[in-house]
Structure 1
């Protein structure tokens, strides 16, 4: 395929406008950064991009100090479970989730059937991530990835890799590289996929020829379901259960890792038992979290671990699960009352 065919029409249009978009005296001209030449060479030689287009994109990308500041001070690192839960478990977010489910009931039912992931889990994730598309992020993705790739040394390799994935993504999906906005870490759309996850898990769920999880809720629903399915979600299996303690408790078993490594039987020997009658041979992880009214104790099963593959945080997984259950209770109650 000749080069002009490899670069999509929207990309060629964007290339023509890039230098006009970049303001004079911008905070950073990333085409002049010491790491830029190697990045441009890689995109040209490995992926057959047009050199001038890549250079013009780096010229248009702007350094955002607020992004670096946010990366240096992640809010969750100093937050208790009690405070964290209050952010996501709110009546307004539950009600909005019910509305989202009603609006997209057919799509959610199809995703549940095709991927084996409950509708409420899909809704819960989208609710935690963006309030059902209401808050997808305000940073241009190219600015976020360039800022972190070129000016955040601790994670430079990772984010330059994501910038590479982003350019591949916009070419594959025929997107305008400057049009997408997302989080300060470059995550996009209803479900906040970083570019590598976008390329790996986003699906064209409405068969319009484009997997668009930024503007298309149908594709977003299918893509979240695909992500969970590909990471091993088991339909009908338990997710998390309250833990019941008995003396003596082996405190070293708590918060030992996100991946289940001890069987429930082994945890019980250490004084930690599930409140519900679960298969003692299945593996679990024990958690001790600082709640609003004191310490809370939980055991997370394999499906809980799958949620943490979406975001590597026990608090995130617990909040997403609890939100999903509250939405499901209200939605199904309303349906039954009709």
Structure 2
């Protein structure tokens, strides 16, 4: 009797244990919303370990300061306030010195890609003050914050986060969790987003790595390649001033792409302040300058710069900085 009595709970324990073992394990709580789906996609596409991916994302932090920064971009300012941020004597003089220091490399890459070297200098000048300020945020934190916690642009930034997690090691300047950049997750002297690294970055020094932090050949060639792949036309203008007459028609511009031949804009009452091909494809930008409205004819190369940053203010700042650098690079220094 004793054996029968004691064997029943033993059998019941075995049955219950088998039942529990057969049940699916409860899902582990994800640190971030949408993390499980993201990890599943990256693991499926790359074969990377889900455990390693989760550990990486678990270490990332949502940062309110990033959400605050993206809600007040400099491009929201009028031109009269935006221009003084980037077009300063200091930035121009630093750009001239930078061009002179790296002239041979800049001009070699300029010839190779057909992009005027002053525009390569101006990009890194506007983006990072010639490499001095490449950003203080962890790239992983920035992309987790914007890709998983910022609904207005979650689709774009989630794509960037996924690309970062999938990126080959030789396309990165270090381990993912050590990379720093802008609040938007851009990296290096030229501030490339992960998909731009994937699509446009170049191993110009031939060392088997793409290093947008420490290799000037990679940095300059990557910016030049970005321009070329977006339609840069060697030798063409970027923007020139336009003078409206009293009867000039209002021109509605959807974006910076060239939409009319220059002669059409002239027929609407806008005269170029320098001689141009009347058939040149063009557009018109109206900016609120320090001394009132400014009118600018803009061309394909202006549009290309807006592929780097979609703001026409950004493109105009790059253009004016580049022109100031080009004007000063061969001039004798003047004591200040």
Q: Give the TM-score, by structure 1 length.
A: 0.86
1:246 and 1:222 mapped to 2: Cα distance? 42
Asked if structure 2 preserves the Cα contact closer than 8 Å seen for 1:205 and 1:219, the reply is yes
Match of 2:327 among 322, 326, 329: 329
Aligned residue for 1:320?
Answer: 318
**Which 10-residue stretch deviates more, 253-262 or 128-137?**
253-262
2:72 and 2:80 mapped to 1: Cα distance? 19
Deviation at 1:172, TM superposition (A): 4.3
1:90 and 1:33 mapped to 2: Cα distance? 42
Aligned residue for 1:241?
Answer: 240
- CA separation of 1:192/1:316 partners in 2, compared to 1, >3 Å: closer, same or farther? same
1:103 and 1:178 mapped to 2: Cα distance? 33
**Which 10-residue stretch deviates more, 225-234 or 211-220?**
211-220
Secondary structure of 1:127 counterpart: helix
Stretches of structure 2 lacking an aligned partner (at least 5 in a row): 1-27
2:129 is the counterpart of 1:127? no
2:138 and 2:205 mapped to 1: Cα distance? 26
2:210 is the counterpart of 1:211? yes
Deviation at 1:272, TM superposition (A): 1.3
Match of 2:280 among 279, 282, 298: 282
Match of 1:105 among 100, 103, 106: 103
- 1:244-283 residue pairs with structure 2 within 5 A? 244-251=243-250, 253-283=251-281
Deviations 1:304-328 (A, max 9, x none): 1111111111111111011011111
The list of structure 1 runs, each at least 4 consecutive aligned residues, that deviate by more than 4 angstroms after superposition, is: none
Aligned residue for 1:187?
Answer: 186
Aligned residue for 2:221?
Answer: 222
Match of 2:302 among 301, 304, 309: 304
Deviations 1:20-57 (A, max 9, x none): xxxxxxxxx99433411110100111121111110011
- CA separation of 1:238/1:44 partners in 2, compared to 1, >3 Å: closer, same or farther? same
Stretches of structure 1 lacking an aligned partner (at least 5 in a row): 1-28
- 1:150-169 residue pairs with structure 2 within 5 A? 150-169=148-167
Please report the RMSD computed on the Cα atoms of aligned residues, expressed in angstroms. Answer: 1.7
1:313 and 1:295 mapped to 2: Cα distance? 17
Aligned residue for 1:148?
Answer: 146
The structure with the largest alpha-carbon Rg is: 2
Asked if structure 2 preserves the Cα contact closer than 8 Å seen for 1:115 and 1:225, the reply is yes
1:135 and 1:190 mapped to 2: Cα distance? 8
Secondary structure of 2:234 counterpart: coil
Q: Give the TM-score, by structure 2 length.
A: 0.87
Asked if structure 1 preserves the Cα contact closer than 8 Å seen for 2:75 and 2:314, the reply is no
Asked if structure 1 preserves the Cα contact closer than 8 Å seen for 2:260 and 2:282, the reply is yes
Deviation at 1:209, TM superposition (A): 1.2
2:68 and 2:88 mapped to 1: Cα distance? 28
2:252 and 2:285 mapped to 1: Cα distance? 5
Q: Report how many aligned residue pairs link the two structures.
A: 305
